[in-house]
Amino acid sequence: MQVKIYTDGAARGNPEGPGGYGTVLEYTDAKGKLHIRELSQGYEKTSNNRMELRAVIAGFEVLNRPCEVTIYSDSKYVVDAFNQQWIDTWIVKNWHRGKSGPVKNIDLWKRLLKVKEPHNVTFVWVKGHAGHVQNERCDILATTAADGDNLIKDIEETNI
């Protein structure tokens, strides 16, 4: 099954401004019907990178069988970590970059590696806020999800 996941790690989730994430899954079932599943973390003030990682993880955690997954993210940090094999280098170097400096958000990186394991994954960077059609889609869908009341706690009801 092919699944598209759109993320926004700075989705509002609260009228006060950035501080949450939204994740949207799009997939077509065996009968050819398109499904859209929105997930929201709600509101939590933390870094955009941390929110983006959590948004991506949320998308994977609802998948209960191996899928072809395309992640659309405007976080170059997340996308480059995989597309340029930074994450492999970090693992080899015991989760340190260069001679020193531990990798930030190590708990989330390890969790992401674990949940993406059974899937064939492509990460696509959609350059932020430059009129890129997929970036606009990330922003609109994921922010709508984050502003909704469909919080992440109900993911066990999803059967994808």
* 149 among known catalytic residues: no
Token representation of residue 120:
């064939």
Q: Which of 8, 13, 19, 22 is catalytic?
A: 8
Q: Which of 20, 22, 52, 59 is catalytic?
A: 52
- Cα–Cα distance between 26 and 7 in angstroms, integer? 12
Length reported for the chain:
160
* 35 among known catalytic residues: no
Token representation of residue 105:
């958000």
**3-class SS of residue 65:** coil
* 156 among known catalytic residues: no
* 119 among known catalytic residues: no
Q: Which residue has the tokens 């606009």?
A: 136
Q: Which of 74, 107, 119, 147 is catalytic?
A: 74
Q: Which of 9, 19, 22, 59 is catalytic?
A: 9
- Cα–Cα distance between 62 and 79 in angstroms, integer? 20
* 52 among known catalytic residues: yes
* 129 among known catalytic residues: yes
Q: Which residue has the tokens 């502003």?
A: 147
Residues serving a catalytic function are: 8-9, 52, 74, 129, 139
